[in-house]
Chain A
Amino acid sequence: MSGKAPDRFRLRVVTSKSLLIETDADEAQIPTIDGLIGVFPNHQPLIVALGRGTLSYRQAAYEERFEIDGGYAEISPDSVLVFTESAATGE
């Protein structure tokens, strides 16, 4: 990992009812309308429409997953901002 590149990114998941997550993450899997994409730090800026599926993220050894449905994500090198329709925590 080079010195300048961020080694983590800020993940925020916002729904119309709450701020679901705000955390630093090493990696995230985001269900877009065209399928699951993996996001690592220093990702190319991307604006992407989301589909229905499971969003998961990993922070060191800790992993968490959420069901989300629609919305969009704004991805930049050091942050991921997800606006989604309805989301519930996975069991």
Chain B
Amino acid sequence: MPNLIDLRRRIRSVRNTQQVTKAMKTVATAKYKKASRSVAVGRPLWHSAPASAGRLAFWAGPNAHPLLDIREEQSIDVLVLTSDKGLCGAFNANLLAKALEFLKSKEPAARIRLELIGKKAVHFFKRQEYQIDRVFADHTDKLTPADLKKLAGELMEKFLFRETDAVYEVYNEFKSVLTPKIMIVRILPIATGTEAGPDHGLDPDWEPRPFPLISALWPRYVEAQIVHAFAESQAAEQAARMMAMDSASNNAEDLIEDLTLNLNKARQAGITKELLEIMTAVDALKS
């Protein structure tokens, strides 16, 4: 028969854990609301900007700007965005598995350099034999758009000086609360649309000429892509943590129920046993 004291102790410890997971869920929910708001305001822009940039690239022509320059991928930079902390389900594990798969597919042809955001990515890739160029691993959630723009600037510089032939980013997009969507996006060279779209019969005029216009616009676009990926990743992380902590709290509840049932059974069994002993003793006295 399980010991009553042991059972009580276990229930108490599970309840404590549950309190922690509940608190973490509350925190994640608050952070998620904040993060998802910043994603939501950017939605209309990201709904139409990539297509527009593609059309501009198409009209400008393949050699209009160095940022469009498609070269053989001999050396590539990959930006991987994860979280700093765990306790968010398979959020990081799924992403890192996908990222690794992607790197393996590129590996035969290209020299790979990594830019890592998030402690989880750093720990993971330390064990792999890829060259790690830059790391943001402390207080990733405090990264400002300015930091990310600086990173984007460095990546663009490397691309323009032909140190790298393509830049990819791998991140979790906040698709819904239940499932983040893993995105692998080539940010450089900028993807060219394959067609101008049905409503554009003619080549457009440019005002000013394509080169100065594009030179002003596209660096901003590349920066915005990285900032956007970061915001998405943050929102997805908090959503994943919220879900993970919610199911942890539920599991704890189930466990407490089971243990309480066992405890009651054991207590009842003890009482029955004692009664039986008393009755036996009374019987013995009577006879």
User: Nearest-CB distance from B196 to chain A (Å)?
Assistant: 9
Give every chain B residue within 8 A of A40 (Cβ-Cβ): none
Q: Which residues of chain A have C-beta atoms less than 8 A from B213's C-beta?
A: 47, 49, 72
Answer yes or no: B217 CB below 8 A from chain A CBs.
yes
Given contacts A15-B45, A76-B200, contact A45 B205 (CB under 8 A): yes
A33 vs B217: C-alpha distance in the bound complex, in angstroms?
Answer: 14
Given A16-B224, A45-B200, A77-B199, A83 and B208 touching (CB < 8 A)? no
- A32 contacts chain B at the CB level, 8 A cutoff: yes
- Given A44-B202, A47-B56, A34-B207 contact (CB < 8 Å): yes
**Interface stretch among B47-55, B74-82, B122-130?**
B47-55
The reply to whether A14 and B45 form a contact with Cβ atoms under 8 Å apart is: yes
Q: How large is the interface on A (under 10, 10 to 19, 20 to 34, 35 or more residues)?
A: 20 to 34
CA distance A5 to B207 in the complex (A): 24
Contact residues of A between 29 and 77, Cβ < 8 Å to B: 32-34, 44-49, 72, 74-77
A74 close to B208 (CB less than 8 A): no
Residue numbers in A under 8 Å from B197 (CB-CB): 76
Q: Which residues of B contact A74 (CB under 8 A)?
A: 52, 55-56, 204
Cβ-defined contact, B42 with A47, below 8 A: no
Distance, CA A83 to CA B224, complexed state (A): 13
* B203 sits at the interface (CB 8 A): yes
Interface SS, A side: strand
In the complex, the answer to whether A49 meets B224 with C-beta atoms within 8 Å is no
> Quick check: B52 and A81 within 8 Å, CB to CB?
yes
Q: Which chain B residue has the least Cβ–Cβ distance from A70?
A: B216
What is the 8 Å Cβ interface bit string for chain B, positions 181-197, against chain A (1 contact, 0 not)?
Answer: 00000000000000001
CB–CB A33/B208 < 8 A: yes
Residues from chain A with a CB closer than 8 A to the CB of B210 are 47
In the assembled complex, how far is the CB of residue A15 from the closest CB belonging to chain B, in whole angstroms? 7
What 9 pairs across the A-B complex have the smallest Cβ distances?
A: A19-B44, A45-B204, A48-B207, A17-B41, A46-B205, A47-B204, A76-B200, A45-B202, A49-B213
B residues apposed to A, CB below 8 Å: 41-42, 44-45, 47-49, 52, 55-56, 59, 197, 199-208, 210, 213, 216-217, 224
Starting from the known contacts A76-B197, A76-B204, A83-B52, 4 additional A-B residue pairs (CB-CB under 8 Å) come to: A32-B207, A48-B206, A49-B216, A74-B52
Q: Which A positions have Cβ atoms within 8 angstroms of B? A: 12, 14-19, 32-34, 44-49, 72, 74-79, 81, 83
A-B contact pairs, 20 of them (CB 8 A): A14-B45, A16-B42, A16-B224, A18-B44, A19-B44, A34-B207, A44-B205, A45-B200, A45-B201, A45-B202, A45-B203, A47-B204, A49-B207, A72-B217, A74-B56, A76-B199, A77-B201, A81-B48, A81-B52, A83-B52
